[in-house]
Structure 1
């Protein structure tokens, strides 16, 4: 499977938190080629398992990247037939004005997000940012017809197509964190070329955007020796300080902080340098807000790493990432996994 085509399919598909089943089958069918078994946790996270060789000590490494995306949900109808909505996950209302949407009702219905024209706004409001309650969706029907097609609680996604940019960069909706799932696929492809002792669990987790829930339940199911979360970080743009962002096309960011096991992190850096894989350092002093945080504090605790992919315009409809960073991240993780054995694990986990 071509990693670019895989990511394109995921980005163009719908998997709002709580409704990830729309892409589960596609992920399963893709990972079957690179794994030995497929499993699920009870919430619906997909677990593709690649067995290691001579793994008599049952060594397990869990990779986690969330397959859910932020979105919207129908909450009410106006007398004119327009739809009021709320968010699922963290959405900035300023990014929604004039967007095209798909309302996933009894059938998919195209609509547009509107608000009061600037000509009719009070002068005191003209400089204020819109809030969610100021916005509505217009599908063109009257209220009676709208309610025949759409129910309160139906999900809504932005109508945005995945597009290739220059320099091997791509843009689309929900690359946070479908790019992480694509990185796991790249890692699985690379591992087919390598010997590794550990059983590797590629987990496409659910409901990360509303509380890293799938990472918790899947960690309890797997009980891994090491957890590696793959998510996105703030790609450098002109308005961002260097200390608050990571550079595009300069490789994965290896996170440093309390959520991350220090010796495993150092081993990951050594592997990157040994194989000339570009990398960056990302500093996060507290909980990372990713699946790594939930894996780390599940059960009796799991030593964790976090790989961050540089992504611009996070939680907008034009998230942008570079495919070279995905490839380098997947290859780095695969090389790291190949060097972890039952004989050296205890040494790496000692403080």
Structure 2
């Protein structure tokens, strides 16, 4: 599939919250044929594809990934760390990169307490990173507060599935790429903004900033959601390989959601639905209430093992997400907007 190398490269690359710029040169190189690129002062990036009218549709995918930070360098040369968004149990025996003055490889080791009756107990307190350096050498390269990210190469599994770190949310960036590719020779009625937002993992901050910057008429948040299969979230009905997941709930504009479902049915694009009666926990939550209110929908890609180094996604789900959004944009006319926005 065209662009699959791009997906692999962005998944294997590193861009923790606050350092999304580490990824932007790669994204810019791959999106440059689709529109003009802007990077804002606080690390949002968007690609603008000019439409026929002045009405705006924004598709947003966050760039940042979950991460660790250096908390202490022990006398023995081990790195203690704080984590954000990562379950301590998933870190045991993982490979990491410490982003100091230069990048250093390390492994996460578990300090096993033989006197602890609960042998299954794992916390950040008994994990440390081994680099092989002593404290003197390490202190010349690494300082407190340096970022640490998971290090993992993409693995190709059966049935068109792949596994890697940072599929949350690089899968959505790839879906935007598929969408942009599908619209390459389409003159859409609406101005299209493909947005790579910053700091979603620490509070959806980029979504607020860029919504005020662009002021779109329609906002589409792209993210991942939990698979409900074996070892998944039993409270959901999302399955890998069954298509993008369209969210239903008060965070979602009902008429635009229905328009998206009609588009999926029209073009025989598989999709699933997910009910979220409260906070969706995504950029959609902040887009909706920005600039006096933006008509917002959320489309998610199901994945397994979220916020680990072995997240799993189905490539066809990504492709169908991009295709669905492209068909919506292709068919959407300015004359429809007033009717869509009326309750």
Q: TM-score, normalised by structure 1?
A: 0.95
CA shift, 1:3, in A, is 2.4
Which residue does 1:121 correspond to in 2? 114
Note if 1:191 corresponds to 2:183: yes
**Matches for 1:282-293 after TM superposition, within 5 Å:** 282-293=274-285
Structure 2 counterpart SS, 1:201? strand
Q: Which residue of 2 aligns with 1:335?
A: 327
Contact 1:59 1:341 survives alignment (8 Å): no
Whole-Å Cα distance in 1 between the matches of residues 160 and 202 of structure 2?
31
Secondary structure, aligned partner of 2:48: strand
Return 25-34 or 303-312, whichever deviates more.
25-34
User: Within the alignment, does 1:133 sit opposite 2:125 as a pair?
Assistant: yes
Runs of 4+ in structure 1 off by over 3 angstroms are 239-243
- Secondary structure of the corresponding residue to residue 109 of structure 1: strand
Matched, 1:82 2:74: no
- 1:278-330 CA distance string (max 9 Å, x none): 01001111111111111001110101010010111100000010110111110
Q: Which runs of 5+ in 1 are unaligned?
A: none
The SS at the match of 2:300 is: strand
Shift of 1:337: 1.1
Aligned-CA RMSD value: 1.4
For 1:240 and 1:102, the matched residues in 2 are separated by 28
- Counterpart CA distance in 2 for 1:238 and 1:137 is 31
> 1:266-345 counterparts in 2 under 5 A?
266-345=258-337
In the TM superposition, what whole-angstrom CA distance separates every residue of 1:194-234 from its partner, at most 9, and x where no partner exists?
Answer: 34100000001111000111111110000000000000011
Give the equivalent residue in structure 1 for 2:50.
Answer: 51
1:10 equivalent to 2:6? Answer no
SS of the residue corresponding to residue 331 of structure 1 reads helix
CA contact (8 A) 1:42 1:217 kept: no
For the pair 1:347 / 2:339, whether they are aligned, the reply is yes
- Counterpart in 1 of 2:66? 70
**Partner SS state of residue 138, structure 2:** helix
For structure 2, list consecutive stretches of 5 or more residues without a partner in the other structure.
none
1:212 and 2:207 correspond: no
**Count of aligned positions:** 343
CA distance in 2, matches of 1:325, 1:20: 25
Give the TM-score taking structure 2 as reference length.
Answer: 0.97
